[in-house]
Amino acid sequence: MDRVVTSDSLAAKKPPRLASGSGQASAESPESPAGSHVEWCKQLIAATISTQLSTITVPDAVSKDYRVFRRPDLRVLRDGNKLAQMEEAPLFPGEAITAIAKDVTYICPFIGAISGTLTVTEYKLYFKSVERDPPFTLDVPLGVVNRIERIAGIQENSCGLEIVCKDMRNLRFAYKQEEHGKLEIFENLMQFAFPVSKNLPLFALKYKENYPVQGWKVYDAVGEYKRQGLPNESWAISKINSNYELCDTYPSVVVVPTSVKDDDLCKVAAFRTRGRIPVLSWIHPESQATITRCSQPMVGPNDKRCKEDEKYLQTIMDANAQSHKLIIFDARQSSVADANKAKGGGYESETSYSNAELLFLEIHNIHVMRESLRKLKDVVYPVIDDSKWLSNIDITHWLQYIRILLAGAVRIADKIESAKTSVVVHCSDGWDRTSQLTSLTMLILDSYYRTIKGFEVLIEKEWLSFGHRFAVRIGHGDENHADADRSPIFLQFIDCVWQMTKQFPAAFEFNELFLLTILDHLYSCLFGTFLYNCEQQRVKEEVQTNTVSLWSYINSQLEEFTNPFYVNYENHVLYPVASLRHLELWVNYYVRWNPRMRPQVPIHQNCKELLSIRAELQKKVEELQREVSSMAVSSSSERASPTHSVSPVQTTV
């Protein structure tokens, strides 16, 4: 992350005691609950939000204020300079420097060439230059690296390094070739950016930090189903997959209809791709209409049927007394579904599944999405063509795909809420588009998932436990950058959530920083949350004991991630407007590296201030009241009855 450590820029975001840059934070903030890393991460994220400000530090209202009134905080500045002199990287405990190269030139596409020191650690790439004032810093977790290429020297003795990142930017360095140290840099980068390919452990396994909140406890499958009112007479929490034998990519705890026998479940599993049988994701608290998810049936070109599967879906329909229909949403394009049928997959025919209605949501596959994001990156980084900005965005189709996804989720939610009909959602394998759709639908229908805790549960449940293949889709520590299985499916989901927060700014407990943090640590490999492909693998690798959960970090400082406008719209169904007119490109994420894109002044900051002013005033009013009444008591003679009690200030939020 490019950022400039100056007292001004940091003071804008943090109290001055944190302004001294990362290394000093631990010494200066002993009262901080989670220690230096929290502070460091906060700064990291703050820098993320404020985009790469390079020389252009924010003169927004707050920092300006500091510039005027808090200038004489020289201690901080001096410390910063000392640190800068050394151009040294701040480290996590457990993080070791593996290579340092001096006189490396960073070729910044916005401000030109900067010469400084490049440090590679097991976790990150760190570049710092004191050539500029304030010092220029670049701090990139190696997890975001997609590809590293050596560029042969244009001049004889120099050579270049191009680092293509997963988070919408590329980095270029140039260095002199003859020095031995420099070769080391490349080798080290290759090694620690792609540890999986080199048979090395990911940094998340070495990262040891004790957060006051244990994030791995956020999600408890049985507890979540209990919250939904399960088990009930129609649905049971089944142990059939407790050893991941029925389906290795499903969680150990699944909810299936009570009346279906385990033998039949096995037969259904044999009929569904990868054994991903229809299981319950969510149940409507009133109508009992359900969202069930699964993979495609293996109908094949010969229209194979499976009586158990047909009966199974009939049972799902019967579990909801409100409707005599079952809607099956196939997320794919109908043409693609047909092609899949020829290859042994397929979809439920309405003749064999009586009372079922099949609808296609026409969502493109993972390859289309990957290509769309690639085009988007070309549009936003590094050069933006101002006069063609909107049409260039149009050409990438990124927002069109977001629209289709949201429209699909709205259709599903509408069937459940308005028609009180149970739905089955699947695509091919049921772990990409299906996860997107079910989780978005649940977000529309259930206000619980719009809280911070609830959203974490949603990700743990619909994405992690149901086997969205994060390791494959992101390519954690894998050098095979051209892998056709990579795709920004989860990013698309977070983008959809962001669109919803834009349309309903008061309905979500979390803020934009929360979403940005999730995306940053999707790639960073600092936390264990998004590692591996499914629950079975995570259990086998003992992720919960060996790594730290992202939720530990987030839940230890909820304040940072809370939306001050939040009003709990309980039982409100929020239908986002799935029209391009009401969608926007998430500029604060996709264009954040461009220094011309200064962040919009976060009004939630001011709102928080208003809230705290009110709290203070309230306190003061009470204090004064108490004082007045006590004075009244003391000044009057003892005969006066001391019944003049303090009336509390009534306020409503």
Partner 1 sequence: MSDRLVGVRLLMGEKVKGEARNVRKCSFNKQLCESIAGKLLCTNFRVAFVAVETGTPQVAEEGSLLLGADDVALSCIDRVVAVNNSRTKILTAASNLKFQPQTLLIYCKDFRLLHFQFEPDSRACEIIPLIAQSCQPASPRKLFLFQYSVEVSNDLDHRQLNSNFDGELYPTRMFETQLDWEMELARTGASGWRVSLVNERFEASASLSKILVVPRKILDLDIKRACAHFNEGRIPRWIWHHRGSDLLRMSNFQSNTYAQRDGLSKLEELLYGAQSKLVIVDVEDELPTPPEIQLAHSRLKNVCSYENCSSVRDPDDKWLSALEGTRWLEAVRLCLKKASEVSSLLSNQCLTVALQETDDRDLACLISSLVQVMLDPYWRTMLGFQSLVQKEWVEAGHRFSDRFNHHWTTDKDESPVFLLFLDCVWQLLDHYPVSFEFTDTYLMAIHDSTHILLFRTFLFNCPRERAYIQQTLATDRRTRSNLFSNGWPRTRSTVRGEQVVLKAGFFTREESSCPLPPVWDWSLQFPTKHQRLFRNALYSDTQLLAQNGTSVHSNTEQADAPSLRSVHLLSKGLLLVPAQLLPWKGASVAKKLSRLSQSLESLLEMEQPQRIPLPPFLDPVGLPFPPIPAPGLRLWKSCYLRWLSAGVQRKARDGQIAALASQIQSLERRLRGEADGRNAAPNGLDRQGNQIPHRPNAPIPACLSETATMETSFSTSVSKGRAIAADL
Measured between alpha carbons, how far is 489 from 500 in angstroms, rounded to an integer?
Answer: 17
Measured between alpha carbons, how far is 208 from 526 in angstroms, rounded to an integer?
Answer: 10
> Given CA atoms 332, 334, 339, 341 in this order, what sign does their dihedral have?
positive
Tell how strand 422-426 and strand 326-332 pair up: parallel
Work out how close the CB of 474 gets to partner 1 at its nearest, in angstroms, rounded to a whole number: 25
Q: How many residues make contact with partner 1 (CB under 8 A)?
A: 74
E strand or H helix at 242, and its extent? Answer: none
Among 208, 343, 367, 620, binds partner 1 (CB under 8 A): 620
Query: Residue 453 corresponds to which tokens in the numbers above?
Result: 């805790």
Among 210, 610, 642, 644, binds partner 1 (CB under 8 A): 610
DSSP 251: -
Footprint (CB under 8 A) of partner 1, residues 456-485: none
DSSP 646: P
Among 601, 640, 642, 644, binds partner 1 (CB under 8 A): 601
Footprint (CB under 8 A) of partner 1, residues 579-598: 579-582, 584-585, 587, 591, 594, 596-598
Count of other CB atoms within 10 angstroms of residue 235: 24
- R_g over Cα of the chain: 28
Among 359, 365, 565, 573, binds partner 1 (CB under 8 A): 565
Q: Based on CB atoms, which residue is closest to partner 1, 243 or 391?
A: 391
Stretch that binds partner 1, among 145-153, 214-222, 426-434, 615-623 (CB under 8 A): 615-623
Stretch that binds partner 1, among 143-151, 245-253, 317-325, 397-405 (CB under 8 A): 397-405
Q: Based on CB atoms, which residue is closest to partner 1, 402 or 534?
A: 402
Work out how close the CB of 623 gets to partner 1 at its nearest, in angstroms, rounded to a whole number: 9
Of 471, 585, 572, nearest to 528 by C-alpha is: 471
Q: Based on CB atoms, which residue is closest to partner 1, 274 or 403?
A: 403
Footprint (CB under 8 A) of partner 1, residues 192-251: none
Cβ-Cβ contacts under 8 Å for 618 (sequence gap 6 or more) = 649, 651
Cα 533 to the chain's mean position, in Å?
A: 16
Work out how close the CB of 160 gets to partner 1 at its nearest, in angstroms, rounded to a whole number: 27
Measured between alpha carbons, how far is 386 from 70 in angstroms, rounded to an integer?
Answer: 37
Among 145, 269, 317, 393, binds partner 1 (CB under 8 A): 393
Footprint (CB under 8 A) of partner 1, residues 39-58: 55-57
Measured between alpha carbons, how far is 164 from 104 in angstroms, rounded to an integer?
Answer: 18
User: Based on the number of CB atoms within 10 Å of its own CB, is 383 exposed (0-12), middle (13-18) or buried (19 or more)?
Assistant: exposed
Place of tokens 């086998």: 540
- 427, 496, 525, 534: the active-site residue: 427
Q: What distance, in Å, lies between the first and last C-alpha atoms of the chain? A: 38
DSSP 642: T
Q: Based on CB atoms, which residue is closest to partner 1, 304 or 388?
A: 388
Work out how close the CB of 241 gets to partner 1 at its nearest, in angstroms, rounded to a whole number: 40
Of 350, 345, 294, 286, nearest to 320 by C-alpha is: 286
Among 305, 389, 420, 544, binds partner 1 (CB under 8 A): 389
Q: Based on CB atoms, which residue is closest to partner 1, 263 or 386?
A: 386
Q: Based on CB atoms, which residue is closest to partner 1, 319 or 373?
A: 373
Q: Based on CB atoms, which residue is closest to partner 1, 67 or 176?
A: 67
The amino acid at 379: V
Stretch that binds partner 1, among 96-104, 200-208, 467-475, 617-625 (CB under 8 A): 617-625
588-591, Cβ contacts within 8 angstroms, sequence gap of 24 or more = 588/49, 588/51, 588/512, 588/516, 589/168, 589/495, 589/498, 589/515, 589/516, 589/519, 590/168, 590/376, 590/380, 591/51, 591/380, 591/381, 591/384
Contacts with partner 1, 398-417, as mask; x by CB under 8 A: -xx--x--------------
Footprint (CB under 8 A) of partner 1, residues 347-376: none
Q: Based on CB atoms, which residue is closest to partner 1, 51 or 241?
A: 51
Contacts with partner 1, 138-177, as mask; x by CB under 8 A: ----------------------------------------
Among 187, 262, 483, 616, binds partner 1 (CB under 8 A): 616
627 interacts with partner 1 by CB under 8 A: yes
Footprint (CB under 8 A) of partner 1, residues 285-344: none
Stretch that binds partner 1, among 182-190, 261-269, 467-475, 631-639 (CB under 8 A): 631-639
Cβ-Cβ contacts under 8 Å for 225 (sequence gap 6 or more) = 231, 237, 253, 255
Measured between alpha carbons, how far is 434 from 574 in angstroms, rounded to an integer?
Answer: 20
**Is 427 annotated as catalytic?**
yes
Measured between alpha carbons, how far is 625 from 485 in angstroms, rounded to an integer?
Answer: 67
Footprint (CB under 8 A) of partner 1, residues 489-528: 503-507
Footprint (CB under 8 A) of partner 1, residues 62-101: 62, 64-65, 67-70
Of 602, 609, 400, 614, nearest to 505 by C-alpha is: 602
Stretch that binds partner 1, among 26-34, 136-144, 383-391, 535-543 (CB under 8 A): 383-391
Stretch that binds partner 1, among 96-104, 212-220, 488-496, 578-586 (CB under 8 A): 578-586
Measured between alpha carbons, how far is 183 from 186 in angstroms, rounded to an integer?
Answer: 5
Q: Based on CB atoms, which residue is closest to partner 1, 257 or 408?
A: 408
DSSP 353: S
Work out how close the CB of 124 gets to partner 1 at its nearest, in angstroms, rounded to a whole number: 28
Among 613, 642, 644, 648, binds partner 1 (CB under 8 A): 613
Q: Based on CB atoms, which residue is closest to partner 1, 242 or 579?
A: 579
Q: Based on CB atoms, which residue is closest to partner 1, 321 or 615?
A: 615
Give catalytic residue positions: 427
